[in-house]
């Protein structure tokens, strides 16, 4: 089905063509007409499936059709889990039209400047929840004209305190509105949160969509931690990889290894939550423009970032969950292109990677590279000591203490 069958205006169809889009993805094909009909949505699709455009396009259509003269009023509020995704969603709006005024609200930037932009008039606010609440506390933002409330990458918002933040936000926006929720997964906690937002959302689950990971060659290499850095340099040089995203477990580790790679002549930088927002923006821009060859990042780069032509994703350290594994490797092989994903594992990772394989429904052949073979032996499994009665409080004791409080 072409975009012309989705009830979009000629000017928007022209903008879609100029942006390089040809046909809608399955999520766009199903969601766009339902949003235009006014339905609340609870959409689920894999990373890289085109979820952002599936709400951005109908929102632009609706806002411009009903745009009144005079100062723009906020018609749509989009919440995202990270600063980078906030900026990326805002950029998607701007990519399709300049006639919709969009303001991004994120931490790490001047709240005064953000308030000034809002007061000038805007149609769409894209925000992280914490900074949005800071802005709302200033009482200088009018959400009474809001028509659309969007929750993007909902499953990533399971951090402690988000439910309370959401309650505060919902109290300050009109009860009569259209609610749109998008996520790669809907664990029970997110389902509970979704029910706070809408009781009658239409569910769309793209099950038959070809998984993004099918375009990705996945390799698993057994190597000791001490040899991973040298092996990565060897792989990058031999395969002449020019755009590599490497996931590390900690901020410090990403800083340290980036410095080591720079010492070896690579254009390598780190990307993590401790960087100032301006530095984060510049680093991503340079990586997109190929001025940075290797980006060592924590999991803040695993969701939402759309960077074309990442040649390879490397799990230098394994992610904690199977869903994060899929999101990580989904940074490559986007828009139907081929990608490469490499995971380093050693004896300590064997069981965890088996669990990742099971939950992702894949079975991958282990490799060893000559000169970097896995050394040592698997540690003996330790049997847990039997619990000692009386050392821990019973459930009844805990309940009594809670009641007493």
Position 390 scores a pLDDT of 42
Position 400 scores a pLDDT of 54
- For tokens 């914490």, what's the residue? 130
Q: What's the token pair of residue 201?
A: 């959302």
Looking at the chain, the domain(s) classified CATH 3.40.50.300 span 3-205, 212-367
Position 206 scores a pLDDT of 79
Q: What's the token pair of residue 277?
A: 């927002």
Distance CA 322, CA 103 (A): 34
Q: In what order do the strands lie in the sheet with 366-367?
A: 268-271, 294-297, 244-247, 312-315, 339-345, 216-222, 366-367
How, if at all, do strands 312-315 and 41-44 pair? unpaired
Position 49 scores a pLDDT of 73
**What is the full per-residue pLDDT of the chain (405 aa) written as tens digits?**
788 889 899 999 999 988 878 788 889 999 999 999 999 999 987 666 788 999 999 999 999 998 888 889 999 999 998 888 899 899 999 999 999 999 999 988 889 999 999 999 999 999 999 999 999 999 989 999 999 999 998 877 766 678 888 889 999 999 999 999 998 778 788 888 888 899 899 999 876 444 456 788 999 999 999 999 999 999 999 999 989 999 999 999 999 999 999 999 999 999 988 888 788 888 988 998 889 999 999 887 766 566 778 999 999 999 988 778 888 888 888 766 788 999 999 999 999 999 999 888 889 999 999 999 999 887 766 555 444 444 455 544 555 565 555
Q: What is the crossing angle of helices 51-65 and 83-96, to 10°?
A: 50
DSSP 243: S
- Name every residue whose Cβ is closer than 8 Å to that of residue 373 and which is 6 or more positions away in sequence: 222, 223
Could you tell me how far CA 85 lies from the centroid of its own chain?
7
> Tens digit of pLDDT for each residue in 261-278?
999 999 999 998 888 878
Position 386 scores a pLDDT of 46
User: What are the contacts of 355-359 at 24+ separation with CB within 8 A?
Assistant: 355/322, 356/318, 356/319, 356/322, 356/325, 358/322, 359/322, 359/323
Fold of the domain built from segment(s) 212-367: Rossmann fold (3.40.50)
Distance CA 322, CA 308 (A): 24
Task: State how far the alpha carbon of 235 is from the alpha carbons of 204, 241, 312, 370, in Å.
Answer: 41, 8, 11, 12
Cβ atoms of residues 221 and 369 within 8 Å: yes
Position 389 scores a pLDDT of 40
Position 362 scores a pLDDT of 87
Summary count for the chain: helices (H), strands (E): 14, 14
Position 383 scores a pLDDT of 57
CATH node for 3-205:
3.40.50.300
Position 243 scores a pLDDT of 93
């Amino acid at each position: 089905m072409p975009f012309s069958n989705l009830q979009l205006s000629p000017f928007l169809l022209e903008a879609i063509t100029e942006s390089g889009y040809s046909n809608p993805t399955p999520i766009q094909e199903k969601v766009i007409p339902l949003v235009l009909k006014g339905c609340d949505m609870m959409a689920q699709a894999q990373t890289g499936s085109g979820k952002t455009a599936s709400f951005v396009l109908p929102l632009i259509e609706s806002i411009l059709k009903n745009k009144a003269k005079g100062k723009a009023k906020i018609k749509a509020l989009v919440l995202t889990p990270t600063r980078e995704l906030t900026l990326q969603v805002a950029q998607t709006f701007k990519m399709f039209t300049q006639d919709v005024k969009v303001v991004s609200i994120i931490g790490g930037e001047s709240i005064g400047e953000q308030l000034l932009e809002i007061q000038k008039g805007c149609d769409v606010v894209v925000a992280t929840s914490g900074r949005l609440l800071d802005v709302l506390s200033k009482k200088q933002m009018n959400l009474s004209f809001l028509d659309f409330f969007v929750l993007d990458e909902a499953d990533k918002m399971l951090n402690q305190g988000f439910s309370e933040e959401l309650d505060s936000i919902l109290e300050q926006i009109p009860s009569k509105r259209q609610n749109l929720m998008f996520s790669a997964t809907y664990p029970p906690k997110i389902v509970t949160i979704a029910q706070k937002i809408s009781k009658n959302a239409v569910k769309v689950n793209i099950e038959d969509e070809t998984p993004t990971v099918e375009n990705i060659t996945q390799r698993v290499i057994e190597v000791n931690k001490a040899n991973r850095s040298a092996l990565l340099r060897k792989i990058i040089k031999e395969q002449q990889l020019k755009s590599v995203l490497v996931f590390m477990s900690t901020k410090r580790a990403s800083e340290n290894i980036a410095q080591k790679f720079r010492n070896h002549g690579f254009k390598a930088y780190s990307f993590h939550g401790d960087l100032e927002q301006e530095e984060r923006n510049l680093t991503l821009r340079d990586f997109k423009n190929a001025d940075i060859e290797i980006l060592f990042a924590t999991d803040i780069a695993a969701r939402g970032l759309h960077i074309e032509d990442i040649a390879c994703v490397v799990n230098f350290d394994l992610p904690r969950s199977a869903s994060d594994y899929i999101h990580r490797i989904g940074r490559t092989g986007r828009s139907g292109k081929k990608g490469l994903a490499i995971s380093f594992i050693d004896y300590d990772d064997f069981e965890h990677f088996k669990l990742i394989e099971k939950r992702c429904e894949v079975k991958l052949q282990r490799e060893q590279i000559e000169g970097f073979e896995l050394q040592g032996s698997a540690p003996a499994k330790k049997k847990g000591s039997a619990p000692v009665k009386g050392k821990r409080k019973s459930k009844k004791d805990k309940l009594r203490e809670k009641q007493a409080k």
